Amino acid sequence: MVGKLSSSNMNRIFLTAFVLIAAVTIPVPRAEAGRVSQKAFRKFKGVYSGVLSGIYGETNGSFIPLAPISFPADVRISSRRKSSVVSGTGNVHIIRYSRPMGSKRRVKIRGIYIGSFFNPVSGFSEPVTGGQRITITDKGRGKRFRFNMRFGDVLQEGSLSYQRVNGIMKKAK
């Protein structure tokens, strides 16, 4: 008979469907590089120079008009887990960095702004949000600029200001 399925065929169909659904829905951990040792991270430390570009805006009472910006910058990479950053409005904020992740040729560092500040426009203390994303690659010996860094930064000071900058920087000798 064509219309009836035997129990072994039914089991095979259900088993195949279960395997397909399980393969699609069960999360698989990504293959990610581990922590970088202090000895391996030592070669990535230093001052990186380049031009950062992006957008910046300050409130005028009701909204933030964003404008394109571009400026030369120097970024110091060290093994410190906290650092202070001066924003476009002149406020000083603290950024906390995670441990460097990656391999001997590539390192990723992420930082998150922590704390709050007093907003003179609103008269209240507001949180600081955003973070930094840094990726440093080692191009190998014999290259003119051996270490290149991709830098990205997003900083929002409550309702006072917003900036998003990124760029590619080279390690200063």
pLDDT digits (tens, 9 = 90+) for 93-140: 999 999 999 988 999 999 999 988 888 877 888 899 999 999 999 988
φ and ψ of 51, to 5 deg: -115, 125
Residue 134, beta-bridge partner list: 109, 151
What is the rounded distance in angstroms from the CA atom of residue 86 to the CA atom of residue 65? 20
Cβ atoms 89, 159 nearer than 8 A = no
Model pTM score:
0.73
Instruction: Give the pLDDT of residue 118.
Output: 85
What is the rounded distance in angstroms from the CA atom of residue 169 to the CA atom of residue 47? 10
For the chain, which domains are there? 38-171 (2.40.128)
The two tokens of residue 122 are: 């609103």
pLDDT in tens, 21-76: 666 666 544 445 688 988 889 999 999 999 999 999 887 666 677 899 999 999 99
pLDDT in tens, 131-171: 999 999 998 877 677 899 999 999 998 888 889 999 999 98
Instruction: Give the pLDDT of residue 31.
Output: 44
Distant-in-sequence, close-in-space partners of 95: CB < 8 Å, separation ≥ 6: 82, 83, 84, 85, 111, 112, 113, 114, 131, 132
Structure-model confidence comparison of residues 98 and 88, the more confident one: 98
Residue 1 has pLDDT above 80, yes or no: no
